[in-house]
Structure 1
Amino acid sequence: MDYVGRVPAPPLDLFIDDIYCMSGRPRHRLMSVPPMPSAHLFVNLGGPVRLWDSDPAVPPVVLTGGWFMGVWTRRFVVEYPKPLRLVGVHFKPWGLSPFVDPPATELRDTWMPVDGGWRRSVERIRDRAGDRAPATATLRVLEQELRSRLAGRSARGLGLVQHTGERLEAANGAVPIGALTDAAGVTGNLLAARFKQHVGITPKRMARIYRFAQLITSVDPRRPVDWAELAHAAGYFDQAHFSREFKDFTGHTPTGYLDLRRRFPAEPGFPPDAGPMPAE
């Protein structure tokens, strides 16, 4: 599996962590993805991708073109084709808002076809990238499309959300919400409303996801893991709450998750973080 990614040039870097291209034969076709502080854009240049929500009431979907995904508050499972060829965007939690029209609450825990908001974009990206274009050329095509979509767009209250979100990111979620509202000079209700508009969830819930991401990416399965120490360092002060949230977000106990990581080591360079894990 080849993963080529980079941070786009300003001003896209205000809204995007990286753009990337994945190609080749993934070692694990089924990957379970826990809540992470990111929204997504995927453009599929290969075979169909299947997606399952951890909520059994939500039917699975087969995705063949391009799709947006907002911030997820629960895990989902993705099945990659073999071979895989896909380009994507890891948006910052607030970063998708300037590129699409629906409020972020409508994209939370779900997906939307790209052509539902960006007409003919998937076709244009495919035509310009070609079937055999190198990853670097494909990323240039994607970045140009993103730049054209951002031009001239503004969103009310996005600056407030971005500034507050950056504080949450820097602190890995370990910031009292009262401190955020005091620093922003707004009421808690206004901040929550703006976050729902541009992120899809409240600052408090966003802080939980940042805190979990800090913990999960700090796990090194090659070494003994002191879960109590890691949980405390990530801001969990209630061990029972930590255990419940870990099981909710991953589907595993901490011990079960560590066993899974040791049985199925991450492919070098893929995934790019320690969040997604093989789904048994």
Structure 2
Amino acid sequence: MEYVGRVPAPPLDLFIDDIYCLTGVPRHRRMNVPPMPSAHLFVNLGEPARLWDSDPSVPPAVITDGWFMGVWTRRFLIEHPARVRLVGVHFKPWGMSPFVDMPATELRDRWVPVDAVWQRSLDRIRNKVGDTASAAETLRILEEELRSRLAEAPSRGLDLVQYAGRRLETSHGAVPVGALTDAAGVSGNHLATQFKSHVGITPKRVARIYRFARLIVSVDPRRPVDWSELAQTAGYFDQAHFSREFKDFTGHTPTEYLALRRRFPAEQGFPPDSGPMPAD
């Protein structure tokens, strides 16, 4: 399967990490995806995909066209079709807010059909892309749609969330929330309220996900792994807490995860993201 991605031009890059195309036959059809500091848009140009929540009370879904996903605080599983043709967006945790007219809490830990959020947009995108558009042209079409959807004026509180979110991003979640509120001159309750509005979760939970992402991306399965050192570097100072959170986020112990990564190395040409892992 081929991955082609790029960072969009300003001002979209303030809200989006990358837009990308996935095409071809996947090496692994079922992927277990832990929480990552991203919200997502997927436009499916091929056969349906299937989604499962790690919460067994949530029914699975078959996605024919496309779906939005807010920030996830638990893992989910995606099953790709036998041949993939998909274009997607990795939003920053707060990045979906200026593109959708709904509270971020309604997208947290959920998949929502694109047409329920952007009415009558999917057919327009699919018609422009057609069956033969190159990856570069497909990305251009999606970027054009995103640019047309970007709100002209930021909604209340988004500037604050961007400021605090960027500090969490660059520090990999290491900045204490108290330092964020002091620097911004706001109360902890006010910052939490704005994060829930624009991200769907509190800044403390965003910090946890950035911290976990730093750890998981730093794992090199080709070499011996000192989990204690990696955990401390990522900001975990309680080994029991690290082990518990790792199992919650991945469904595996660190030892099990490393064995899985060694059995199934990352595909060449994909971005350096060691989060999603084969589930088959």
TM-score under structure 1 normalisation? Answer: 0.99
Tell me which residue corresponds to 2:21: 21
Tell me which residue corresponds to 1:132: 132
Q: Which amino acid aligns with 2:239?
A: Q
Tell me which residue corresponds to 1:216: 216
Tell me which residue corresponds to 1:231: 231
Secondary structure of residue in 2 paired with 1:43: strand
Secondary structure of residue in 1 paired with 2:95: coil
Tell me which residue corresponds to 1:168: 168
Pairing 1:34–2:49 present? no
Tell me which residue corresponds to 1:68: 68
Distance in 2 of aligned mates of 1:213 and 1:194: 23
* CA deviation vs aligned residue, 1:73-92 (integer Å, no higher than 9, x gap): 00000000121000000000
* CA deviation vs aligned residue, 1:246-273 (integer Å, no higher than 9, x gap): 0000000000000000011111123651
Distance in 2 of aligned mates of 1:17 and 1:70: 14
Secondary structure of residue in 2 paired with 1:225: coil
Q: Which amino acid aligns with 1:95?
A: G
Tell me which residue corresponds to 1:146: 146
Distance in 1 of aligned mates of 2:91 and 2:73: 15
Distance in 2 of aligned mates of 1:272 and 1:102: 31
Moved over 6 A (4+): none
Tell me which residue corresponds to 1:3: 3
Secondary structure of residue in 1 paired with 2:186: coil
Mapping of 1:1-280 within 5 angstroms?
1-270=1-270, 272-280=272-280
Distance in 2 of aligned mates of 1:164 and 1:271: 25
Distance in 1 of aligned mates of 2:7 and 2:245: 31
Shift of 1:172: 0.3
Shift of 1:66: 1.3
Work out whether residues 33 and 275 of structure 2, in 8 Å CA contact, stay in contact via their aligned partners in 1. yes
Distance in 2 of aligned mates of 1:271 and 1:20: 10
Shift of 1:154: 2.5
Secondary structure of residue in 2 paired with 1:186: coil
| More moved, 11-20 vs 146-155 | 146-155
Shift of 1:116: 0.9
* CA deviation vs aligned residue, 1:97-124 (integer Å, no higher than 9, x gap): 1111111011000011111121111111
* CA deviation vs aligned residue, 1:3-52 (integer Å, no higher than 9, x gap): 00000000000000000000000000000000000000000000000000
Distance in 1 of aligned mates of 2:23 and 2:141: 16
Distance in 2 of aligned mates of 1:15 and 1:192: 19
Q: Which runs of 5+ in 1 are unaligned?
A: none
* CA deviation vs aligned residue, 1:169-204 (integer Å, no higher than 9, x gap): 010001111101000100000000000000000000
Secondary structure of residue in 1 paired with 2:22: strand
Distance in 2 of aligned mates of 1:18 and 1:168: 18
Q: Which amino acid aligns with 1:58?
A: V
Shift of 1:55: 0.3
Work out whether residues 39 and 92 of structure 2, in 8 Å CA contact, stay in contact via their aligned partners in 1. yes
Distance in 2 of aligned mates of 1:12 and 1:73: 25
Shift of 1:152: 2.1
Q: Percent identity?
A: 77
Q: What is the number of equivalent residue pairs in this alignment?
A: 280
Distance in 2 of aligned mates of 1:210 and 1:187: 22
Shift of 1:153: 4.5
* CA deviation vs aligned residue, 1:135-159 (integer Å, no higher than 9, x gap): 0000000000000000424311000
Secondary structure of residue in 2 paired with 1:223: coil
Distance in 2 of aligned mates of 1:81 and 1:262: 25
Work out whether residues 99 and 151 of structure 2, in 8 Å CA contact, stay in contact via their aligned partners in 1. no
Distance in 2 of aligned mates of 1:272 and 1:120: 34
TM-score under structure 2 normalisation? Answer: 0.99
